[in-house]
């Protein structure tokens, strides 16, 4: 009888070891990858990025044909960058390279490209600090420097704060914060308070003119007009 019990116990131990081995093998099986070495999630993300990139390009073409960059413009500059850390790139479109020209922002939602209200930047670019998710829009003129600080949240450009500081050409000092005139001392205190509240960390990225799209049809039409005028 004892011999039978020992045999049963041994068989039970063997069964436990076999089951444990099966579980270890199952847990060690990696998620399926493609020939390119990407997981299914990575493939889906890459496909979505390619799709939105095509939609953004169509929007650039549409803006060109509408004359948004000037009546004779045949090319436009832009960048794609994730400004709100949601895994989807926004489009930053340069309005031009003039002093007061900033950038328009666009987002791709449900396969539709929408314009985000507002614009920021100067000379056709804007500065973005990825580590802080803060957009800085600077403008210098008449002896003063104005800076607006934004953060993109829920596809809306939210103003964190803005300040202006300097001395105008007629030697009049200008100090303002969030649209209100303040003293130089008050501006310094407010600046310190808000820089602590919204710290800017890391390096900035200049966005707006990294990519160039040329409408070949418009370019050909422009070339024909120029030849005719000559």
Q: Which tens digits make up the pLDDT trace of 134-186?
A: 999 988 877 789 999 999 999 999 999 999 998 877 788 999 999 999 999 99
Closest CA to 95 of 110, 80, 73: 73
Q: Are 150 and 131 contacting, i.e. CB atoms less than 8 angstroms apart?
A: no
Note the pLDDT of residue 144.
86
User: How confident is the model over 40-88, as pLDDT tens digits?
Assistant: 888 887 888 899 999 999 999 999 999 999 888 999 999 999 999 999 9
Q: Are 131 and 201 contacting, i.e. CB atoms less than 8 angstroms apart?
A: yes
Q: Are 159 and 179 contacting, i.e. CB atoms less than 8 angstroms apart?
A: no
Token pair listed for 169: 């050409």
CA distance 19 to 31: 22
Q: Is the pLDDT of residue 215 over 50?
A: yes
CA distance 10 to 32: 38
Note the pLDDT of residue 228.
47
Token pair listed for 97: 């390279």
Across all residues in the chain, what is the average pLDDT?
84
177 by DSSP, 3-state: which? strand
Confidence bin at 220 (pLDDT 50/70/90): confident
């Amino acid at each position: 009888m004892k011999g039978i019990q020992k045999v049963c116990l041994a068989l039970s131990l063997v069964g436990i070891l076999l089951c444990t081995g099966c579980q270890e093998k199952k847990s060690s099986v990696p998620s399926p990858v493609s020939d390119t070495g990407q997981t299914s999630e990575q493939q889906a993300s890459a496909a979505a990025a390619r799709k939105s990139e095509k939609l953004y390009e169509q929007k650039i073409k549409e803006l060109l044909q509408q004359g948004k960059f000037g009546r004779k413009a045949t090319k436009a500059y832009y960048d794609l960058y994730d400004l709100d850390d949601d895994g989807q790139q926004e489009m930053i479109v340069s309005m031009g390279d003039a002093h007061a020209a900033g950038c328009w922002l666009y987002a791709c939602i449900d396969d539709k490209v929408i314009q985000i209200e507002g614009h920021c930047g100067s000379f056709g670019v804007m500065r973005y600090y990825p580590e802080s998710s803060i957009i800085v829009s600077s403008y210098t003129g008449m002896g003063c420097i104005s800076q607006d600080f934004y953060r993109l949240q829920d596809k809306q450009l939210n103003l964190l704060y803005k300040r202006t500081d300097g001395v105008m050409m007629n030697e009049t000092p200008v100090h303002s914060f969030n649209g209100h005139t303040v003293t130089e001392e008050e501006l310094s205190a407010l600046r310190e308070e808000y820089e602590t509240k919204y710290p800017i960390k890391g390096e900035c990225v200049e966005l707006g003119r990294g990519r160039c799209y040329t409408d070949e049809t418009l370019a050909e039409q422009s070339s024909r007009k120029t030849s005719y005028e000559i």
